[in-house]
Structure formats: C-alpha cells, structure tokens
C-alpha cells in the first residue's frame, strides 16, 4: 500500500514521459517562474545559466546575496562551488591523461614514491594492502571503497575521531567519496609532482576566462560575496578555505562556472576520447540514495534510466538522450550542473540556501524540458512534497521516471 501511495505522489509530481514534453521557458517567462519557485521554496538567492548547443543563452541572478544588508546576488557574486568542484577537477585530470602523464588504469602505487600508509595522512591504511589495487579511474568514479570522508560512519553520522578505512573491495561498487577525490589530488601532488592548484588555474581557469574563481580564498572575493542561509533563513556566513581540496574548496561565480560548463559540453580542451570517458558509464548505481554513501540498501528502480557514474559526474538516460549531472551541497549552499550530452544543452543552478535543492527538480524541467533527473536518489525533495522526506528517511525506493 505504501508503494502505491508513493507512486501516486510521483505522478502528482509530474512523472517524466516523452509524449508529455513541457515547453522550455526563456526570457521573462523563465525569470517569472524562477521568482515564483524561489518564493515558494524560501530561497533567498539563486543564479541560473542555460546553455544551448554549447553556448550560454541565459545567465541571470535573482534575489539577495546578503539579506541583512539587502545586497543583490549578481552573476559575478562569489559563491561556494562545493562538490561541483569535483567535475572541474576531473576535467583537469583528463588533460593529464591526454598528455600521457596519467593512466586511468595504472595503480596509484606505481605513481607514489613510497607506500601510501607511510604518509601520515594515510597511516590508517597500514595493514590493508587493498590500497595497492586502487587506480585513478576508481577514484574518479567513486569505486575505490572509501567513505565520503573518514569522519562519516557507515550510518552517515559524524565521528570526529573517525579513521580512514577501505570499506569494500576496490572496484566492486559505487560509493560517493570526497576522500577518494582528495586521494587522487594527493597522487598528483606527490607522485606526478603536479601542483593541483596550479594545474586547475592553467588548464581550467585560464582557458575559460574564470578570473573570479579560486581553489582557495582570495581577499577580492569579499567585495561581492554570497552569505549562506540554512533552511530557516539563519545566516551561516562564508568559509574562507585556505588550502586546495579537489573534493570541494572552490569559490566561483555563476558567470565563471557557466563558461566552464559550456566548454565542457563542447569538449573544449579535451580529446574526444577523454571527454567521452568522463560522460561514459563506469559503474552502475543501485543505491536507493546517494547518501549515506556506504548504505547497502539497493534498488532496481533506476535501472530504467541506466543510472551510473562516469568520471566526475553521474550519467543516465533522459527522454532527450544521455545526460550527466553533478550536485554540490553544504550548509547554506545547494548547486547543480546538468547537461544533455548529444544536444550540448545544460543548466547551472547556484544557490546560497539549504532550501535551494527543493526547487531543482522543477527548475531543470522548466529550462530544459523533461529530463528525468533522478532527484530522489540525489535527495532533492521538492518543497511542495515534504512526504518524500519521510520516504527518504525510511530508505523507501521509488521509480523516478517512466521513459515511454
């Protein structure tokens, strides 16, 4: 009975079907819908970019970057990128693959000058030789066996004394892991002697004209800075990150990241093979939701859209062809980048609110038409369907879309 009720709720949400294609809004109509959704979802500030055939056709900022001072959000406002940093880092890594300096399937043990557990940061892995099986491909596709971060337990709770462990056989399954992405950065820095911050600056920021982005905090960011807000509208400030973290230390602007996303949709700066590898399914995803990452609850509900992970982004079948996407989440920050691969059409959403994700499902289809975004797997519960939060808490699975 519960499953029937949940399925009915899904239909009420506007289940995805190709023969019920909704129009793509543009111009004033899109602006009005964004404003309506922000008001309904209690989102103080949001920026939206729409890309068609690899070119930016809509770039707008809405609402406030600072409610207390009544300052507007602009397309040049500094915003925290969170985990959409990972896609940008993956792009930078693939330029090294194109250079012949990195082999995705060569073991990281072959690149490091000494055993991984001999480094203080990875001493917890002493006695577990499975680290030697790990490859760059596994780290980018989140199959290396790590938790999201070492201080998150298998249940998803926080343990400040948590020790790093390989939780399952490397390569055997998907489990989203910022720890794994940071390990690949460690391999670049210590094995290839590549400065990751400099790599990203020269291969990404310079190429795409991202002058207002940085992997660490810069004082000029202060002049036009977005303050993050929690679900109740409480200001959370903005963290000044002092070290490069490939998993998510980047500050950027809506205009900057839109330029990168448009470039990636065109495969600019990458060989056809490397660009294809990023967007190709590396591992099928059967988890009910992405978090907690080590949960062993599985489902076949996303098999119909062939949900999987590529290198730096999730991939799946949409009514408009193959799609790929990456979210970014932190307290006071909700972001999403999604592209339709063949059409080279994309949407970028950056918000300074923990409520931002509650409007993602509607914004994506408003701008791009039906996409079958697996919003439940990502945890993007729509603002007007709070009953799905209970379903998520119970690890209740559901079919996200009907491709007909």
**Of 260, 258, 327, 265, the residue nearest 75 (C-alpha):** 258
189 and 237 co-located in one domain: no
Question: What pLDDT is attached to residue 251?
Answer: 98
Residue 202 lies in a domain: no
Contacts of 333 (CB under 8 A, 6+ apart): 79, 80, 82, 228, 351, 352, 354, 356
Question: What pLDDT is attached to residue 247?
Answer: 98
Contact indicator for 47, 399 with CB cutoff of 8 Å: no
Q: Which of 193, 225, 240 is the last residue in one of the domains?
A: 193
Domain count within the chain: 2
Q: Is the pLDDT of residue 18 over 60?
A: no
Residue 382 lies in a domain: yes
pLDDT in tens, 307-320: 999 999 999 999 99
Residue 56 lies in a domain: yes
180 and 251 co-located in one domain: no
187 and 219 co-located in one domain: no
Residue 96 lies in a domain: no
Q: Which of 193, 221, 249 is the last residue in one of the domains?
A: 193
Q: Mean pLDDT lowest for which of 7-11, 67-71, 246-250, 385-389?
A: 7-11
**Of 365, 262, 399, 350, the residue nearest 73 (C-alpha):** 350
pTM score of the predicted model: 0.94
300 and 387 co-located in one domain: yes
133 and 35 co-located in one domain: no
- Domain with residue 72: its CATH number is 3.40.710.10
232 and 358 co-located in one domain: yes
220 and 249 co-located in one domain: yes
Residue 15 lies in a domain: yes
Calculate the CA dihedral of residues 281, 147, 134, 183 and round it to 10 degrees: 100
Question: What pLDDT is attached to residue 401?
Answer: 76
174 and 246 co-located in one domain: no
What is the mean predicted confidence (pLDDT) over 89-103? 98
What is the mean predicted confidence (pLDDT) over 342-365? 98
123 and 251 co-located in one domain: no
Task: Report the percentage of the chain scoring pLDDT > 90.
Answer: 88
121 and 81 co-located in one domain: no
150 and 221 co-located in one domain: no
Which of the four pLDDT bands, split at 50, 70 and 90, describes residue 396? low
Residue 183 is part of which domain span? 102-193
Residue 203 lies in a domain: no
Task: Report the percentage of the chain scoring pLDDT > 70.
Answer: 92
Residue 39 lies in a domain: yes
Residue 97 lies in a domain: no
Instruction: Report d(CA 383, CA 375) in Å as an integer.
Output: 12
245 and 162 co-located in one domain: no
């Amino acid at each position: 009975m519960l499953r029937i009720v949940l399925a009915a709720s899904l239909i009420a949400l506007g289940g995805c079907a190709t023969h019920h294609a909704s129009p793509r809004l543009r111009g004033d109509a899109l602006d009005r819908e964004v404003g309506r959704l922000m008001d309904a979802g209690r989102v103080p500030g949001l920026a939206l970019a729409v890309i068609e055939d690899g070119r930016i056709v809509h770039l707008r900022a809405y609402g406030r970057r600072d409610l207390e001072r009544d300052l507007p959000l602009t397309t040049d406002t500094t915003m925290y990128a969170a985990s959409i940093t990972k896609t940008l880092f993956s792009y930078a890594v693939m330029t090294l693959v194109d250079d012949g300096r990195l082999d995705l399937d060569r073991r990281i043990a072959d690149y490091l000058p000494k055993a991984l557990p001999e480094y203080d940061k990875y001493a917890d892995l002493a006695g577990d030789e499975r680290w030697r099986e790990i490859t760059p491909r596994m780290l980018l596709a989140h199959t290396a066996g790590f938790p999201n971060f070492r201080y998150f337990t298998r249940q998803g709770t926080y343990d400040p004394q948590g020790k790093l462990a390989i939780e399952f056989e490397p390569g055997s399954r998907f489990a989203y892991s910022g720890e794994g992405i940071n390990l690949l950065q460690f391999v670049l820095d210590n094995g290839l002697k590549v400065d990751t911050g400099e790599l990203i600056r020269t291969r990404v920021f310079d190429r795409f004209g991202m002058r207002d982005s940085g992997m660490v905090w810069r004082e000029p960011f202060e002049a036009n800075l977005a303050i993050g807000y929690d679900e109740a509208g409480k200001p959370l400030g903005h963290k000044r990150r002092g070290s490069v973290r490939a998993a998510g230390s980047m500050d950027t602007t809506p205009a900057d990241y839109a330029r990168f996303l448009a470039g990636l949709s065109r495969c600019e700066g990458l060989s056809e093979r490397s660009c294809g590898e990023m967007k190709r399914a590396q591992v099928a995803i059967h988890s009910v939701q992405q978090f907690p990452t080590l949960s062993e609850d599985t489902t076949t509900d996303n098999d119909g859209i062939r949900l999987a992970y590529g290198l730096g982004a999730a991939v799946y079948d949409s009514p408009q062809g193959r799609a790929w996407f990456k979210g970014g989440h932190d307290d006071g920050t909700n972001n999403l980048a999604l592209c339709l691969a063949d059409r080279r059409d994309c949407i970028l959403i950056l918000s300074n609110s923990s409520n931002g994700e509650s409007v993602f499902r509607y914004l994506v289809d408003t701008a791009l038409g039906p996409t079958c975004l697996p919003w439940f797997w990502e945890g993007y519960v729509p603002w007007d369907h709070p009953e799905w939060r209970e379903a998520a808490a119970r690890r209740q699975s559901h079919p996200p879309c009907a491709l007909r």
